[in-house]
Amino acid sequence: MLMPNLVAILALLAVGRTPTPEEIRAWDISVAPDGAGLPEGSGTAAAGKEIYANRCARCHGAKGEGRDSVPVAGGQGTLKSPKPLRTVGSYWPYATTIFDYVSRAMPFDKPGTLSHDQVYAVTAYVLYLNGIVAEDAMIDARSLPKVQMPNRNGFVPDPRPDVGRTRGSGSARKAR
Ligand code: HEC
């Protein structure tokens, strides 16, 4: 009597299964600086204006000046000043990171609710707010990696001996 029940219970407890290819695609959202991993889709700042107003401005301000949250625009030219303002526009070296970040984490209170086209469009809009792309520039997997960020060359290798000279080189460990 006990055995069939036990088997049924074990079957119930056997949670988990192999994910489907669709599920893996939905989770596999990483975008590299060179644009590898960017999905199909596209958008312009003009298209992103309304999405930004509805889904982002509440926290980041109408012009990206940061209201209840961090600014996403401005600060260019302040990094060497006593009061550096680090934003996507003044600090981030790669435009592709904006897509990656927004698609996985924004809107802060409802991440994952924007379509790829919508993420491309708000990415374009954030770039537009920073004066980096034109309002009608088509942003997609091919054009986004080519967007030159103002601080692209503002990073230098960390000179401390215990830090790798190039990213992923593993030289820190080899040096010991
Ligand atoms: C409910 C408030 C809220 C909303 C809505 C929201 N954000 Fe954010 N956002 C945040 C917060 C808080 C952070 C900082 C998170 C952190 O540092 O961990 C952030 C960070 C960011 C950053 C990184 C800024 C930086 O320099 O680190 C970007 C880019 C961004 N948001 C874009 C967007 C976009 C685009 C939208 C609309 C699709 C959006 N956010 C909607 C609250 C919000």
pLDDT tens per residue across span 6-49: 777 777 887 778 889 888 887 889 999 999 999 999 999 999 99
- Please tell me if the CB atom of residue 102 comes closer than 6 angstroms to any atom of ligand 1: yes
The larger pLDDT score, comparing residue 50 to residue 20, is at 50
pLDDT number for residue 33:
95
Ligand 1 atom closest to the Cα of residue 58 is 5
Q: Which fold has domain 41-154?
A: Cytochrome Bc1 Complex; Chain D, domain 2 (1.10.760)
The average confidence (pLDDT) of the chain is 89
**Would you tell me the crossing angle of helices 96-105 and 116-129 to the nearest 10 degrees?**
130
- Please tell me if the CB atom of residue 67 comes closer than 6 angstroms to any atom of ligand 1: no
pLDDT number for residue 172:
41
| 2 — pLDDT class (breaks 50, 70, 90) | low
Ligand 1 atom closest to the Cα of residue 98 is 29
Report the candidate in 174, 170, 151 with the shortest Cα–Cα distance to residue 75: 151
pLDDT number for residue 24:
84
**Helix (H/G/I), strand (E/B), else coil: 16:** coil
pLDDT number for residue 68:
80
Q: How far is CA 84 from CA 35, 81, 91, 110, 153, in A?
A: 28, 6, 10, 30, 17
What percent of the chain is modeled with pLDDT above 90?
70
Residue range 70-80: mean pLDDT, rounded: 96
What percent of the chain is modeled with pLDDT above 70?
90
Residue range 77-89: mean pLDDT, rounded: 95
